[in-house]
Amino acid sequence: MVVIPTKMGLINKQTLIYRLQRMGMASRAEIAKELGLSQPTVGKIANQLLKQGVIEVVRTKKSKDKGDDEEDAIKIGRPGISLRLNRKDPRFLCIQLGVDKTCFTASPVGVDAVDHWQVKVPTTDSAEGWLKQLQIAAEQIPHKDFWGVLISVPGIVEEESREVIFSPNLHWTEKVDLAELVKKVWNAPVELVQENRALALGHQTFELEHEDFTLIEFCEGVGSAAIVKGKLYRNSLPISGEIGHAPIYGNTRKCGCGAIGCLETLVSNKALLLSFSEVTGKANPCWEELVNHINENGIEPWFDSILNHTADVIATAMNVLGIRKVVVVGSLVELGEFVIKTLERKITHGAMWARFGTVECVSAPRRRIAGLVYAGIERLIAPVPVAKSDNTDLM
């Protein structure tokens, strides 16, 4: 007889995986206490997950000395036997489709706190070109069988139908079925995750105190995603967090989205280099030159003005979303912590919460791989069916 897990069973399974990720390592009793579940319930789920290879056993010396029968001891969960997410076996192929580069890494479910990409190839500007790059990358990745391929994708992405609706900096992806392209190289289910959502989920995985925040990435573009009450902010339209396309009055630069004067035409990597070149007269400066210049000269008027516009847009987003914490990742972080602190001061001027409370702007590393794996757990390892009448997202 096939036993179909109940919805509650699936929710418990998913919750246990996420909680164990946060706890690092824990015994069955500790997990049961943390989740408010009975030990037999946790034991049953843990044994299923062990069998699947989602979690693994960590034996302390104490339990080894006892001379327990190995299999029994693991099954029952004797003292000294802890569990953690499997850190040995690559289960997911994580791909970051970036504007210039595409990065790959084979990741276990027990993911590292900091991104480490194994293979990097140029992105190219067509589906055919990208497929060739995928084949080149596949040769360099020794592991071949995956539970799923998880792709971080820029632009406006309908994750459920795996469609890129609009991509200001990578227009060719709008006409292509990325999942089908990837399936030509790897025989596994493919899931798309909007790139900023992946970063926000990855940040939340490792920063326990950050239950409510908006994460903003500055790189080839500028985008954000918010975590509200511990859950990814989603709405009916597949668009949110597009602060890079807020119009800045007086800015005449043309944006990849088709509009004139978007914020990201001032504060993306390319835009900052353009302004730096205009101000200093240097032809084609590189990123390191800009970093050194800002570190030597501080925040000059041209850069101060860009930070003012950036802070205004962020503060507006905070006022609308009702969020007091901003997490910055990417190129502005590379420019130095004093830039983030300056941005925080400027945000404080515009954020209404600052009139009577405190607002925070902190820098963080990118944890895109962790975010992709989070989505892999949610969609492929322990998917919870969502009833049509459900308005809320399940963890």
Report the interface residues with Zn ion, using CB under 5 A. Answer: 245, 255, 257, 259, 262
- Least distance CB 269 / Zn ion (angstroms): 15
Residue 316: other Cβ atoms inside 10 A: 15
Taking the C-alpha atoms of residue 309 and residue 316, their distance in angstroms, rounded to an integer, is 11
Residue nearer to Zn ion on the CB measure, 111 or 243: 243
- Least distance CB 262 / Zn ion (angstroms): 3
Residue nearer to Zn ion on the CB measure, 189 or 261: 261
Residue nearer to Zn ion on the CB measure, 79 or 247: 247
Taking the C-alpha atoms of residue 173 and residue 195, their distance in angstroms, rounded to an integer, is 14
Residue nearer to Zn ion on the CB measure, 273 or 354: 273
Residue nearer to Zn ion on the CB measure, 12 or 224: 224
- Least distance CB 264 / Zn ion (angstroms): 6
- Report helix, strand or coil for 324: coil
Residue nearer to Zn ion on the CB measure, 252 or 392: 252
Residue nearer to Zn ion on the CB measure, 41 or 251: 251
Q: CB of 174 within 8 A of CB of 119?
A: no
Q: Which of 99, 138, 147, 144 is nearest to 118 (CA)?
A: 138
- Least distance CB 256 / Zn ion (angstroms): 6
Q: Which DSSP string corresponds to 51-109?
A: HHTSEEEEE-HHHHHTT--HHHHHHHT-TTEEEEE--SS--EEEEEE-SSEEEEEEE-S
- Least distance CB 239 / Zn ion (angstroms): 12
- Least distance CB 244 / Zn ion (angstroms): 7
Taking CA atoms, 130 is separated from 144, 175, 178, 251, 337, in Å, by 19, 13, 10, 34, 36
Residue nearer to Zn ion on the CB measure, 56 or 195: 195
- Least distance CB 313 / Zn ion (angstroms): 12
Chain-centre distance of CA 178, in angstroms?
19
- Least distance CB 141 / Zn ion (angstroms): 34
Chain-centre distance of CA 354, in angstroms?
28
H helix or E strand, kind and range, residue 218: strand 213-218
Q: Pairing state of beta strands 92-97 and 148-153?
A: parallel
In the block, residue with structure tokens 């901003």: 326
CA atoms lying within 13 Å on the CB side of residue 275: 22
